[in-house]
Amino acid sequence: MRFRKLKKQSKQNNQNRDKTLAIKYANSVDKIKAFITDMFMIYAPILYLITYVVMDGKDEFQASQLAPLVGVTIYGLIYATLISKFGQTPGKKAYTMKVVDETTHENISFIRALWRFIAFLFSATILLGLFTGLYRKDKKSLHDILANTIEIEVKT
């Protein structure tokens, strides 16, 4: 290889390394707090509306197998929209976190955000997927690995 190409490659690698060093991964405790906040701010109102506006009350909601599925589907669509448009949900914004692409550090597409949500449901079901973030250096859980995303802290 020519010296110029090697020098140019080295310069690009140094710039990429500097970008990587500047990124601070989101704290696991803050991720949990953000998730709980999102449950109260987004998911609970959806369930309330389904239970008392669409259906006749909690007894009918509990008897239905479709109602919880509809609630999770609506929540997933709202979640994917917020992540793709802003990179944050209200909970993530409260704890200064953002979901971005692992390599470009830019917002992800709606389809990818929806895939990340579906992967989260799978990850939460087996529980092991949620614990992977506790022992990885980059703090990525299984759904982040599958969607090729990272949760980073943003400066306010």
What pLDDT is recorded for position 91?
95
Query: Is 130 in a helix, a strand, or coil?
Result: helix
Residue range 118-151, pLDDT digits in tens: 999 999 999 888 888 888 888 899 999 999 999 9
The stretch 55-59 carries a mean pLDDT of 90
Contact yes or no for 46/75 (Cβ under 8 A): yes
* Euclidean distance between CA atoms 110 and 143, whole angstroms: 15
Structure tokens at 95: 């704890």
40 phi and psi, to 5 degrees?
A: -75, -35
**Rounded to two decimals, what is the model's pTM?**
0.82
156 vs 149: CA distance, rounded Å? 21
pLDDT digits (tens, 9 = 90+) for 15-46: 555 555 578 888 889 999 999 999 999 999 99
Q: What's the pLDDT at 16?
A: 56
For residue 5 the two structure tokens come to: 């190409």
